[in-house]
Structure 1
Amino acid sequence: MPAAGASGLSAAPPQAASSMPAPGPQAATPAPAAPNAEAPKTAAIKPDPAAGEAKFGTVCVACHGAGGNSGTPANPKLSQQHPEYIVKQLEEFKAGRRQNPIMQGFAAQLTDQDMRNIAAYLGAQQAKPGFAKDKELVTLGEKIYRGGIQNREAPACAGCHSPNGAGIPSQYPRLAGQHADYVASQLVAFRDGIRKNSPQMAAIAAKLNDREIRAVADYVAGLR
């Protein structure tokens, strides 16, 4: 521009015994299946937000600000971001699926536990609000964000990132209040094939021109 209840089935009634004689000896009852040999051997990683705060303070704070509230327009705000999204991006930086020499260097220093700790810490921080700056652009940005561009089959950003920019945990990132400069740079990177770790976003950004990208980015900055 970012569910389990009880079954409704009742037990089947017992079948009536057959009046016909059995044709022969009953087959032996099969032995119970052996336990699944492929079951996970280790428990899921439990995040430690306190350890995440300590690691963030030594590795990330210089660029992303205290509590993830970056004051530099080129560096994204990370506060209140969905932990699953942060972990995914760090993993992809580390693996080289998302290209950024600076972030790849930092991510290479992190273990899986570090990533989950940092993500848990940032997800619990309160994001500071941002502001739209261009009245003309923000009107166009709102139109695209809420309604898309129908004649180019560009979907509304709100469909995935929610009307208020809160995103959807585990699926789509929070955008509300994000720096307009950063959002615009990422949309251009998706459109131009520089950022390749989301084919869905690349396909959407390919439908937007420079002015439309700036407009959406400015509108997103003011969402709250």
Structure 2
Amino acid sequence: MRLTPHQICRSRLAGIAFLLPGILLSHGVAQAQAVPLAERLQLCAGCHNPDGNSIILENPKLSGLDAGYIVRQLRDFKSGIRKSPVMSTIIPMVDEKEFPALAEFFSKQQRKPGVAVDAKRAAQGKEIYDEGIDSSAVPACSGCHNDDGSGTDKYPRIGGQNSAYVIQQLMNFKSGERANDVKAVMRAVAKRMNEKDIRAVAEYMVTLKGEPE
């Protein structure tokens, strides 16, 4: 039986939790305590790999993301604005003072691009990424995330991102489950996309390097 991403992360973290001094339990509730960066990174590696290039396709690659963007996402997880069954169990363990150092570390890691599984679907995704969809008023992804998928401090680097993760996030924006996007831009865009569009553009994004040639 194939484990879900949540189950994989929880099984990995189970062995780590009792080894790291920064994880304290009080009546079964995780308590935040700042620890050295190297120790905290062991916790992150359980789901995102030591270099931030998660091999669990439903989890995001943190490598090469803008540090400010990572900090904002961590704060949103901490406050509950952004929801995740995995992060909701992890983020209480992490002191907010640790966010900048964690973000800086992952921002400096090299992103490893992936390979499209379905070349035809990726080609359809490229058209959406570069040109948008006129019939449903979907703007080109490149307008905010750049031609190479490198992103900005406001809009994340999506080049080389795990396709299953991209699909889930776009579906979450579409349904409104995720609502921490800048000026609700992604919710407006995703609502105009059907699942076929979403899967196509995710298939193309995984091939982008996310950095200038």
Q: Normalised by the shorter chain, which TM-score bucket? A: 0.7 to 0.9
Does 2:206 correspond to 1:221? yes
Does structure 1 retain, via aligned residues, the 8 Å contact 2:151–2:158?
A: yes
Distance in 2 between residues matched to 1:117 and 1:85, nearest whole Å? 13
Does structure 2 retain, via aligned residues, the 8 Å contact 1:91–1:107?
A: no
Over the aligned positions, Cα root-mean-square deviation in angstroms equals 1.4
Does 2:148 correspond to 1:194? no
Does structure 2 retain, via aligned residues, the 8 Å contact 1:52–1:120?
A: no
- Within a 5 Å distance, the mapping from 1:97-176 to structure 2 comes to 97-168=81-152, 170-176=153-159
How much has 1:90 moved relative to structure 2?
0.6
How much has 1:120 moved relative to structure 2?
0.4
Task: Render the CA deviation track for 1:71-128: whole Å, top value 9, x for unaligned.
Answer: 1101111111111111111100110001113202211222222111100000111111
Does structure 2 retain, via aligned residues, the 8 Å contact 1:53–1:121?
A: no
How much has 1:54 moved relative to structure 2?
3.4
Task: Find the counterpart in structure 2 of residue 32 from structure 1.
Answer: none
Greater mean deviation of Cα atoms: 91-100 or 109-118: 109-118
- Within a 5 Å distance, the mapping from 1:2-81 to structure 2 comes to 51-57=36-42, 59-81=43-65
How much has 1:153 moved relative to structure 2?
1.3
| Structure holding more helix per residue | 2
The one-letter code sitting in structure 1 at the alignment partner of 2:176 is G
Task: Render the CA deviation track for 1:200-222: whole Å, top value 9, x for unaligned.
Answer: 10110001011110000000000
Give 1 or 2 for the bigger CA radius of gyration: 1
Instruction: Give the TM-score of the pair, scaled to structure 1.
Output: 0.74
The one-letter code sitting in structure 2 at the alignment partner of 1:203 is A
Partner SS state of residue 206, structure 2? helix
Q: What percent of counterpart residues are identical?
A: 39
Distance in 2 between residues matched to 1:165 and 1:53, nearest whole Å? 29
**Residues 52 and 161 of structure 1: is their aligned pair in 2 closer, same or farther, counting only changes over 3 Å?**
farther
Task: Render the CA deviation track for 1:44-77: whole Å, top value 9, x for unaligned.
Answer: xxxxxxx5443112x2101101211101101111
Q: List gaps (5 residues or longer) in structure 2.
A: 1-35
Does 2:154 correspond to 1:205? no
Q: List gaps (5 residues or longer) in structure 1.
A: 1-50
Distance in 2 between residues matched to 1:156 and 1:71, nearest whole Å? 28
Does structure 1 retain, via aligned residues, the 8 Å contact 2:113–2:160?
A: yes
Task: Find the counterpart in structure 2 of residue 182 from structure 1.
Answer: 165
The one-letter code sitting in structure 2 at the alignment partner of 1:83 is A
Does structure 1 retain, via aligned residues, the 8 Å contact 2:44–2:50?
A: no
Task: Find the counterpart in structure 2 of residue 5 from structure 1.
Answer: none
Structure with bigger RCO (C-alpha 8 Å, 6+ apart): 1
Does structure 2 retain, via aligned residues, the 8 Å contact 1:52–1:119?
A: no
- Within a 5 Å distance, the mapping from 1:85-96 to structure 2 comes to 85-96=69-80
Instruction: Give the TM-score of the pair, scaled to structure 2.
Output: 0.78
Distance in 2 between residues matched to 1:179 and 1:109, nearest whole Å? 26
Distance in 2 between residues matched to 1:52 and 1:162, nearest whole Å? 32
The one-letter code sitting in structure 1 at the alignment partner of 2:98 is D
